[in-house]
Amino acid sequence: MAVKRSGPDAGLGEFIRRQRELGHLSVRQLADACGISNAYLSQIERGYRNPSSFVLKALADGLELSADTLYAQAGILDPSDGEAGDVAEAVRRDPYLSARQREILIEMYESFRKVNDSD
Amino acid sequence: MAVKRSGPDAGLGEFIRRQRELGHLSVRQLADACGISNAYLSQIERGYRNPSSFVLKALADGLELSADTLYAQAGILDPSDGEAGDVAEAVRRDPYLSARQREILIEMYESFRKVNDSD
DNA sequence: CGTGGGTGCTTGCAAAAGTTAACACTCCTT
DNA sequence: AAGGAGTGTTAACTTTTGCAAGCACCCACG
């Protein structure tokens, strides 16, 4: 599946460590806040382990940044996913729409915005 | 340890299954698109497995939605996340749309919802 | 019929995730 | 100097992920 597997090679880990240090947190403090063991966090930071989705989310919360930011660092999120107003966001989060329907609604919304700009 | 543990309890899995069905994809089709095995996807959808962050990201891509959307559904539900389905609300609050445009978007949104019900 | 392909599901098993209990080191305090 | 408490790291272990290979079922087509 092409995705980078473990090994001392972790951009994500380095980023987490830097964020942790910026927040003046010890390995144990952040690990506790995330509900994981300090040993495990240490290994994640040095690229010897890949966190599960739940742990990644917990880390994002503990570091007070969005999961998307961590994903971006993990190299698994297109930075282009960024922007989007509240409407587009609400559409993306709606669990009852198909991908195609979301696409249509967002496109229509953005075309409305565009038209209004030139007023 | 705070992080939610497995069990047939899967909000996330149900959501993934629903999205897959809305896209008219078979288990094998989505699994292939995500680079994971069909057996594994089946188990994820029924709540017997928790995907790693990499697999979760692949699923988000395969379903054409953002990783955060999956996270929101993943049951790490901050109630503060403002109850997803408020597309209509977001549209009504948007200051950059005309009354007519709001009407159109909401109507289209609701018709999508209606169509999906009868799947 | 019958067989080939479609669907989702079960079953081992190797390989990772994740834990507990240690380690070595530093900095304070006594 | 001897202890305590802080730091990050390692080692041995258990639990979970994720896959290959197969099951049972349904539907179309010769």
The confidence score (pLDDT) of residue B10 equals 57
A72 touches A56 (CB < 8 A): no
Percentage of residues in chain A with pLDDT exceeding 90? 30
Give residue A1's pLDDT: 34
pLDDT of B80 higher than 60: no
Given this model, what pLDDT does residue A50 score? Answer: 92
Burial tier of B68 (Cβ tally within 10 Å: 0-12, 13-18, 19+):
buried
pLDDT of residue B83: 43
Q: Give per-residue pLDDT as tens, B17-72.
A: 988 998 889 999 999 999 999 999 999 999 999 999 889 989 988 887 777 677 76
Phi and psi angles of residue A50, each rounded to the nearest 5 degrees, phi first: -105, 120
- Residue with the bigger pLDDT between B111 and B77: it is B111
The pLDDT score that the predictor gives to residue A63 is: 80
Q: Locate B101 and state its tokens.
A: 């445009």
- With distances taken from each CA to the C1' atom of nucleotide D18, the closest residue turns out to be B40
- Cα–Cα distance measured from residue B94 to residue A91, given in angstroms and rounded to the nearest whole number: 13
Whether residue B25 lies within 8 A of chain A, CB to CB, comes out as no
For residue A17, what are the CA distances in angstroms to A3, A4, A42, A52, A106?
Answer: 21, 19, 9, 17, 37
A3: pLDDT strictly greater than 50: no
Whole-number pLDDT of residue A31: 97
- For residue B105, the chain A residues in CB contact (below 8 A) are 87, 105, 108-109, 112
Average model confidence (pLDDT) across chain B: 77
Residue A9 CA to residue B81 CA, distance in Å, equals 34
Task: Give B90-117 as a DSSP string.
Answer: HHHH-TTS-HHHHHHHHHHHHHHHHHHH
pLDDT tier at A70, thresholds 50, 70, 90: confident
Q: Once rounded to an integer, what is the mean pLDDT over residues A62-85?
A: 56
pLDDT of residue B73: 65
Q: How far is the CA of A32 from the C1' of D4 (A)?
A: 22
Q: What is the pTM of this model?
A: 0.69
* Token reading at A46: 């040095």
> What is the tens place of the pLDDT at every residue in A9-67?
457 888 899 888 877 899 999 999 999 999 999 999 999 999 998 899 899 888 877 66
Contact A53 B50 (CB under 8 A): yes
Least confident stretch, A7-21, B73-87, B101-115: B73-87
Q: Is the pLDDT of residue B78 over 90?
A: no
pLDDT at A113 > cutoff 50: yes
Inter-chain CB proximity A86 and B94 less than 8 Å: yes
Whether B103 and chain A come into contact, CB under 8 Å, resolves to no
